[in-house]
Structure formats: C-alpha cells, structure tokens
Amino acid sequence: MLKPISLGSEVFHKLIESNSYYVDKTDLIRTVFKDDTADVMLITRPRRFGKTLTMTTFWDFLSLDPLNPGDTTRQNKWFQETAIFADKEFCREYMGKFPVIFLTLKSVGYANFQDSYNELAFLVSSLAKSFIYLESEDILNETDKQTFRTLLNYELLRDPKDKSHLANSLKTLTELLAKYHGINPILLIDEYDVPIAKAAHHGYYREMIDVISPFLSNALKTNPHLGKAVLTGCLRAAKESIFTGLNNLSVCSVLDPGDMLMSTSIGFTDEETRTALAYYSLSDCYQEVQKNYDGYHFGGNRMYCPWDVMSFCRSNRLTGAQYAVADNYWINTSGNDIIEEFMGFIQPDDTDKMQNLLDGKAITVNVRKALCYGDLQCHNISDFWTLLLYTGYLTYDPRHRTANKDEYLLYIPNEEIRDCFRTKIKDFIADNPVMKNTTSELITAMFEGDAGTMENRLNTLLAKYVSVRDFATKAPRENYYHGFMNGLLVNGISLIEEQKSNAESGDGYTDLIILSAATDRIAILELKTAERKFDDRISKAEKAIEQIISNRYAEQFMDNKTIKAVYAYGVCFYKKNCSVQVRRLK
C-alpha cells in the first residue's frame, strides 16, 4: 500500500506517525546545530518550500522531555529510520537534550495593528502554557515563578499602555528555562518576518516595528541564556534593528552559496523529485513536472518546489501518468498580492522588463540582499525585483558574474509561476481604476473619431501595459500589439456591443472591428509597427487606412442605415509609443 501524502502537515512527528511520504532532510540538524557555530542562524526561502517542517524537525529532535529528562523514547521512535539516526555520537549529544522554544509568527498579520498585537500576545501566552511545569516545581524561586506568571497573563501582555512585558517575554522565557534545566534553551522562530511584511502592506509598519524589534532583539542579542536561535522567513530584513548589532549571525538565503547540504535541505532536488514520481508510478510525467515546478536555484543548486511536486503526486497517483495534469498549485496559496501591488507604480522601462520575463527572457537588475520592509511602501522598482526573487516568483542564474556584486540575472523559474504572472497581470488590467478610466476614455474617443485623444490614451496605457500572451516565438510584432488592444478593450466591455479580432471582411482579414454599444457606430482598426524610433509612424498609419479602404473592410456596413458612422483607424506602434490616424468612411 502506498504511503499517504499529507499536504499541509508541517509537524515532523505527525508525518512519521501517520506513515506519510517523507523526504529525509534530517542531516541538516547536524549542519545547523553542530557545524555552524553562530549564535543565530537565519534561513530564508520562498513560501511552500518546507521551512515550517524543517523547524518542527529541529523541535522534535532536540526537545527534552521535562517529566523524564534524558528519556529519548519519542525521538528513537520518530528518527530511527532517518539519516541523522546513524550518527550515534551526535544523537547522544543532541537528541532530546535541550529545552526548545518554538514559535511561529505566520498568524500575526491582521489588517490593523491592534489585532496583530493581540495575536502576538496570545501566541506568547499560549507558548508559556506549554512550559507550565516551571511553576509546579521548587527549582525556581517564588520571584521567578511570579515572573513566569506574567507570561501566562494574556491581558497583561496585550496591555497597550505597557508593552514592556511583551517586548521582554522571549528573553524572560529563555532565562527561566535555563535556570530550571541548567541548559541554555534553543529558540526556533518560524516566519519571523510575516508581522513586518503584513504591517507594511496594511499601513501600520512603524507601530509593528516598535513592538517586534525589541521582542526579537532582546532575546537574540547578548542573551547569556540563549543556546542557539534559528529563524526562518522569506526576506532578510534590514534597518529594522532586529539584526543591528547582532554580530554572530549566520545567514542562508537563496543567494548564499553555503555548502551543498545546507542549500538543498529545503526544497526537493532533481533526484528526490524523480524518486517521488517513481514511487507513485508517475515517472513518465517527469518532463512535465520539470517544466512546471523546477528551475529554482538555492546557493547555485537547482531545486523544485516540494509543495508542487507532492500536490502533483496526490492529484495524479490514482489516474496514473497517462491522464496526469500539471495544475497550478502554488497560486492558490497565500501571498500572491505582490505583483498587483507594484504594477500600478512601475515605469515604461520596467514594463519592458516584465514583458521580457513573460516572454521567457532574463533581466539584469540590482538586488538588495537585505531589504527593508518599510521601503516597500515607497514602491521602489529595485525592491520589486528583489521581493519577487526572495518570494519565489523569480530565480537567478548562478553562472552570471559581473563586476557589480549586487547585479543578478533573474528569470521566471517555470511554467507554473509564469501562469501566476499572467493571472495577476490580467487581474491588474481588469481591476485597476486608472487602467479602466483611461480605457473608457480611449473607447469613447474611438467612437467619436477623435484620433488625438485616442493616441494620447493609448500612449498612457502602453507605458503601463504588459501583455499576458506568449510572444516568445518569432511571430510578427503586430501580434504583440494585437494582444495589447484586445487586452485593453476587455476593460471597456460596457461600451462595446461586439468586438471581432482578425475577422474576415471584404477582401481580407482586418485586425479589429469594434461595434459601439450605445451610439450605432463602428471602428475598424488596422495595426502596424515601425522598425526604428524615427520612422514615419504617421505615414504608416495613413497607409493602414488605405489598406482598410482598398480591401473593402467596411463595405458590409456602408448600406446599413442603422449604422450612423464608420471610422477607419490606422495605428502604428514603436515600443511604448504610437501614432493614430482616422478617416470617417460613413
């Protein structure tokens, strides 16, 4: 019987106890807690790559049993068939030997500061309850026990007038655990940057920083009671004072080379992906899986998104390889608002870069290795590319080297992510009020024969537009602008009765025929492109009108008494500019 696939299960021992499919990454425990000598390690990876599972694996392996110190029965059961269990010396030294504080901050992300602050206080209070034995024994004195009770008191922790209790809570807990056990505890903080990212998105960034910075830094900096801390997140935050002054910090980001084991322990390697597919009799789907879910680079190593690979296996293991479908699993998870948030702020050169990405090309940009979440509110385009890299929308070419150490060659890693881009850009074009209003003005002008206004509005829209069609092929450049016009006109659907593209008319096929919904007017558009910047776009647009006339594209409408006017438009494009000419034929 095949092992079940427990998607969404992020606790190591639950995967093992349910006999679910598990890719063994346990050697990472030794790398992090023995080989790496830094007091604090930060591991950054995109979402859905298994950061939380990694942290719960640490937690399950290291945690001592407070009722039976030295008893490793649980670990022996959970880890007996894993790679780390073969290292008997390491297991004797580390397995089940530490008090471990495990805290995930992924839920601290409400739309307002007070709710997020309350959630953080609730998490700390709940965390303290997991160490309730601290007040039941005589090892701690009464003063220490009273201090511990403040950590249990949710109402005290959430008091807006005195934030010191919450700010010092993690440091206090490490001190109490060290006193009780005589061993400095391990601190594991999962998704440490979610509260900051959500605060920046919802507009209470400064208030959250004033809370989260002392909350984390008090526990991490010069804390004599801390054994080691490991944090995970998407970004390495800068300027937030969380890591300021933290000298003994080890960072493992997607860009940091590290060693092979460190770089490949979060995510699936090609070999691990092939093994999973073979186990579920889906080996024949390897190329499809590679095309859709491969392409990431961590420290120069090529990696797959494990969420996608295992989702694919679960969806197709019963139907088999013959009927397997590679769906987009990533887009339905959280955090897909990045593209939409920035699209309204990018400039013409940046839309060209976005278009290149969608067309399967790479772009060269400067990456800010330490990104300040507060700066995201300024919608700086350099931050946009960096954010896309760290959150998994883009990856980098590790072979690209220039004199500028911050310059990277970025591209979309696979077809699934390209589909995410297409979907989000479509949403932006359809929902953005500026795009909607400008398109409405363009269509109104088009049915009034106003070429000047139409040209002006087209140039405004060209500056912001990214085509979601695939033009990486050698198709004529007119195809790009044909897609551009079709994409825009969707926004003006209330003004348009009917829209025909490449329709047979007269003696040929015209690019666009558009019927007004309210004014009994018709616009016929022929699209052309210029080769160079100073080509005569106006003359080319006029020749396009002559093509409409000579090929009799408008003939079918000329004797129709209901139709009040027929306009022939020639539109000539060059990159992000166009010229529009018009002639009223009826």
**Domain map of the chain by residue range?**
12-262, 267-327, 338-426, 432-584
Who contacts 94 (Cβ-Cβ below 8 Å, separation ≥6)? 29, 30, 33, 34, 61, 62
Q: 524 forms bridges with which residues in the sheet?
A: 513, 568
Question: What secondary structure letter does DSSP report for 330?
Answer: G
- Please report which confidence band the pLDDT of residue 472 belongs to, taking 50, 70 and 90 as the band edges: very low
Q: How far is the C-alpha of 170 from the C-alpha of 215, rounded, in Å?
A: 7
* Residue 290 or residue 378, greater confidence: 290
- Please report which confidence band the pLDDT of residue 239 belongs to, taking 50, 70 and 90 as the band edges: low
Residues 6-61: tens digit of each pLDDT: 988 899 999 999 999 999 999 999 999 999 999 999 999 998 899 999 999 999 99
What percent of the chain has pLDDT above 90? 64
| pLDDT number for residue 469 | 52
Q: Which helix (H) or strand (E) holds 242?
A: none
Common-topology check for domains 338-426 and 432-584 = no
pTM: predicted TM-score of the whole model, two decimal places? 0.84
| pLDDT number for residue 563 | 92
- Please report which confidence band the pLDDT of residue 473 belongs to, taking 50, 70 and 90 as the band edges: very low
Whether 304 contacts 264, CB under 8 Å: no
Whether 566 contacts 550, CB under 8 Å: no
For residue 476, pLDDT beyond 60: no
Q: Minimal CA–CA distance to 39: which of 163, 187, 149, 162?
A: 187
- Please classify residue 219 by burial: count the beta carbons closer than 10 Å to its beta carbon, then call 0-12 exposed, 13-18 middle and 19+ buried: buried
* Residue 377 or residue 169, greater confidence: 169
Whether 321 contacts 282, CB under 8 Å: yes
Whether 6 contacts 20, CB under 8 Å: yes
What percent of the chain has pLDDT above 70? 94
Who contacts 185 (Cβ-Cβ below 8 Å, separation ≥6)? 98, 99, 100, 101, 173, 174, 177, 178, 225, 226, 227
| pLDDT number for residue 332 | 67
Residues 136-147: tens digit of each pLDDT: 878 999 999 999
Question: What secondary structure letter does DSSP report for 516?
Answer: E
* Residue 279 or residue 136, greater confidence: 279
Residues 527-536: tens digit of each pLDDT: 999 988 889 9
Looking up tokens 């409409």, which residue turns up?
548
Residues 303-344: tens digit of each pLDDT: 999 999 999 999 999 888 899 999 999 876 655 566 767 776
Q: Which fold has domain 432-584?
A: Trna Endonuclease; Chain: A, domain 1 (3.40.1350)
Mean pLDDT for 211-220 is: 94
Other CB atoms within 10 Å distance of the CB of residue 429: 22
Enter the tokens of residue 55: 């942290």
The gap from C-alpha 570 to its chain's centroid, in whole angstroms, comes to 41
For residue 75, pLDDT beyond 90: yes
* Residue 70 or residue 91, greater confidence: 91
Residues 494-504: tens digit of each pLDDT: 889 888 887 76
Decide if domain 338-426 falls under CATH 1.10.10. yes
